[in-house]
Amino acid sequence: MGRRYVTAMAKTVGAGLLGLTLAACQTTSTTQTATPPVQNNLPAAEISDPGTLQFKINPSGVGAYYGWQMQITKAARNKGFKPFTTEQLSAGQTKEYTLWPDSYTVMVYRLGDLKYNGQIEIHPGETTVVYADYGLLSDNIDISRHIDPFRAHPELDTTAWRVPISTTYEPETLFAERGFRAEYTGPQNNGERVGGGTVDITRNGLPFAEILNAEITDEKITGDITYADGRDVDGDYQNADRQLTPGSTTKWPDGTVFTGTYTLFDPRDGELKMADGTVWQGPVRERKPFGQGRLTRWEGDWMDLPDGSAFPGQTGEFVCGGETVAVGECYYYGGKKLSGPEELAALMARDRQIAAKAATQEAAKQPPRQPTATQSGCQQASGTFRDTTGNSTLTLNTPGQGRGNFVSYTFGGAEKYRFEIDFSYSTTADSIAVTYDGAGTYSNAATGQILQQTSIPSGTVSCRFNDGLLVFDGVEYRK
């Protein structure tokens, strides 16, 4: 003996399950109508409520009553709808789907034969029923805006399945770039977001932020936002510009504060106040100084940095000033302020000696490398080479791969300047892959005063070697 299922729509908030209530039948109308009957003790439907589409196979007691399927291929306007096809249903079985209000393309089949193809409107808070009837002469599909009590058969109705909105709809992707992804989950009504939904934002697959009661327009996203790392932001996300509102202030739990412009949610350029009171004005990456800008200590003294990423271990000569320091040059080594250029030059000379000694010790541990019959071209190059001007020297310590050094002299008026950088390398017959050891150093060739440190990107360049002539990245060097 089957159980009788009569549906009573319960108001659903967000994307929750739409339940079916086991109760005695409350409705009496048996005809299709554009106006649904009033259901007792239920609140009035709101525009943000979902509706229900019920597929019911009515037993007639005549013939083989099985093999019915319903397919919904698309929603007319809503985003995120997932097309589906029911399994084959038999007499007395019912399948019920929760859907956001819209017009849906519905097809009904029996044993693979198309019995119905049309548009069905789903309305907020209402149940629309697709009745499938088997007849001796023809099959019949009826669409009703309410449940027909005269089609209920307590002794034959057997099974009802309920499918929640989380199964019929997937989140709508609002944006996905630079590792960020924002997805909206919430009410829709004929292609319009209605009520307050939820926006979940991830970064590289990990939770980044959640926006409750989200209101989304072409210009911006607003709502009650919570960030996973505990930051607090006073601005909204601008859809058009793909960034937080310029001038927004972000505060992190560790005391770091940034005000300026953003790339998505990341600080880009502005004022970064660090936890110890130090203020950076300029480009920012990963909550750290980057590029050219000014660093101001809490006591008011400032320093201009050509590359803020060197902070707090900056080394070299810089322009400084402030309340207690006259504007002029200042000298740092590893972030520590020095007495003058002589102290900086001495420390840099010491570092070069240490590096050279370490390289010599490492080379001594390795057996001498000799060119083999299989090596050719640049794989055979080693020794010291000088360019055609005599101002640049390139040293490769062993054939094939090893450690190298580059020194170049330039002139500015009466002044002579020296640039030097160490590197490791590996070669093929016609290329050399170079990995530079930190930053290269510009200095005054006469005094040894360090003027600037510059990073050079590593990479692979063209190379040719024959009879003592080494062509390195298009420049000729003689051994």
Q: Which of 42-51, 199-208, 233-242, 250-259 has the lowest mean pLDDT?
A: 42-51
Query: How far, CA to CA in Å, does 341 sit from each of 105, 324, 345, 349?
Result: 79, 20, 6, 12
The pairing of beta strand 383-387 with beta strand 172-177: unpaired
Average pLDDT over the chain reads 83
The pLDDT tens digits of the residues spanning 32-61 come to 333 333 343 445 678 999 999 999 987 765
**pLDDT score of 5 more than 60:** no
What pLDDT sits at residue 408?
Answer: 92
The pLDDT tens digits of the residues spanning 388-420 come to 888 899 999 999 999 999 999 888 777 888 899
The pLDDT tens digits of the residues spanning 412-461 come to 777 888 899 999 999 999 999 999 887 888 888 887 778 888 778 888 98
Whether 58 contacts 151, CB under 8 Å: yes
The pLDDT tens digits of the residues spanning 233-245 come to 999 999 888 899 9
What pLDDT sits at residue 16?
Answer: 32
What pLDDT sits at residue 137?
Answer: 60
CATH number of this structure's domain 51-168: 2.60.40
Peptide bond preceding 312: is omega within 30 degrees of 0, i.e. cis?
yes
**Type of residue at 219:** E
> Is residue 413 classed as helix, strand or coil in its secondary structure?
coil
Q: Read off the pLDDT band of 370 (50, 70, 90).
A: low
What pLDDT sits at residue 12?
Answer: 30
Instruction: DSSP letter for 81, please.
Output: B
What pLDDT sits at residue 29?
Answer: 29
- Which residue do the tokens 């510059």 mark? 454
The token duo for 206 is 């990990």
What pLDDT sits at residue 271?
Answer: 98
| Beta carbons within 8 Å of 17's beta carbon, 6+ residues apart | 98, 162, 164, 165
5 dihedral zone (left: phi>0; alpha: psi -120 to 50; beta):
beta
Q: How wide is the angle at C-alpha 381 spanned by C-alphas 380 and 384, nearest 5°?
A: 155
Closest CA to 214 of 204, 206, 225: 225
Closest CA to 130 of 30, 206, 62, 52: 52
What pLDDT sits at residue 367?
Answer: 67
What pLDDT sits at residue 17?
Answer: 30
The pairing of beta strand 127-133 with beta strand 257-263: unpaired
Q: How many CB atoms are located within 10 Å of the residue 246 CB?
A: 15
pTM of the model: 0.62
Q: How many CB atoms are located within 10 Å of the residue 300 CB?
A: 11
Kindly list the domain boundaries of the chain, sorted by start residue: 51-168, 172-333, 345-478
Distance CA 269, CA 247 (A): 10
379 dihedral zone (left: phi>0; alpha: psi -120 to 50; beta):
alpha
- Which residue do the tokens 């480009």 mark? 283
Exposure b/e, 349-381, CB count within 10 A at least 16 = b: eeeeeeeeeebeeeeeeeeeeeeeeebebbbbb
Distance CA 144, CA 159 (A): 20
